[in-house]
Amino acid sequence: MNLQMTLPDKSVMYNALLKRDSTFEGIFYVGVKTTGIFCRPTCHAKKPKIENVEFFNSSKEAIQLGYRPCKLCYPLEVQGKFPGWMIQLMKEIEDNPNVRIKDYDLVKRGISPHKLRRWFKQNLGMTFQSYLRTLRIGNAFGRIKYGDKVIEAAYSSDYESLSGFNAIFKKTTGFVPNKSKNSNIINVTRILTPLGPMLSGATEKGVCLLEFVDRKMIETQIKRIKKIFNAELIPGKSKYFDLLNNQLSEYFKGKLRKFDVPLEMDGTDFQVKTWKQLLKIPYGKTRSYEEQAIAVGNKKAVRAVAKANGDNRISIIIPCHRVIGKDGSLTGYGGGIWRKQYLLNLEQKK
């Protein structure tokens, strides 16, 4: 797939670069051929000539082509924060998840509906309206689970008919509203990191999913997680996401060595045992598969250990990237070898 195709016009991006237009934050990165450095659109460094720049969708592409991150604008810092022009709107939605916002309302607030749609597609992979809808349903679910009557939740979510509410609720969650008390949902959100967007999920007990969204296994992982927790995945908020976001951000700055966001890992006994051993590998250190097998208590279980590593659903925090080949080769990594290399370099301060 040619990722370049999803970028705006080069002239549009160059213009945004000259104006340090923050609405393009997260939409493109710019590499400066003459210096080998890449930047955010809003960087305060002197702007290069158009013939000396190339544009990227992600910091990954820039890194793969050998560009180094700029020391002024820190393009590797966690993205996905709302750009300035969105903050007020998102606060409004947060204060009242049942708010209805049409294009006309956006224009009244000085926001271009087109720009907002593009931001949602690019950063959350969903439309603005489906984001609002899932927030409303997630909110209604919480109310019903903790005692509200379905009809109360439906009307306070601003649905005009109960049947309409029931239908959309079922479409979103996979169960009808009055099953809420006995059902679970896993709230999921996208977290943008220097290595690309990750899908994060949390139950009431803790984070149960953190995966790079482009990972081939992600759909299998999602199926497994739904089965294990008997739950549907719904975009929305979790009390753990802010902490997770902050800790990841500090981690990628090289400042955080140990995560303490609550986790909920569930799997076979062997998997859980292996994952717990992974958590014991210190920051900055690596372990071979054989050493990991010994740690798990069976020197011969090298392949089983490698498999359980691959089944890890909470990347980075459960550091499966710290297990490498006996000869020092990186062997495999679900999120791609380039990410494993990056994480190890970061931890080893290379």
Eight-class DSSP state of 268: -
Q: What is the DSSP string of 144-172?
A: HHTT--HHHHHHHTT-S-HHHHHHHHHHH
CB of 33 to Zn ion, least distance (A): 14
CB of 73 to Zn ion, least distance (A): 3
Q: Which is nearer to Zn ion, 43 or 218 (CB)?
A: 43
Q: Which is nearer to Zn ion, 30 or 140 (CB)?
A: 30
Contact footprint for Zn ion (CB under 5 A): 39, 43, 45, 70, 72-73
Contact yes or no for 330/287 (Cβ under 8 A): no
Q: Which is nearer to Zn ion, 17 or 153 (CB)?
A: 17
CB atoms under 10 Å from CB of 77, counted, come to: 16
CB of 72 to Zn ion, least distance (A): 4
Torsion sign (Cα): 227, 228, 231, 232: negative
Is 39 an annotated catalytic residue? Answer: no
Q: Which is nearer to Zn ion, 39 or 140 (CB)?
A: 39
Q: Which position among 43, 70, 73, 320 bears the catalytic label? A: 320
Structure tokens at 176: 């009808």
CB atoms under 10 Å from CB of 234, counted, come to: 18
CB atoms under 10 Å from CB of 310, counted, come to: 12
Q: Which of 182, 160, 180, 156 is nearest to 169 (CA)?
A: 180
Distance separating alpha carbons of residues 241 and 232, to the nearest angstrom: 18
Cite the active site residues. Answer: 320
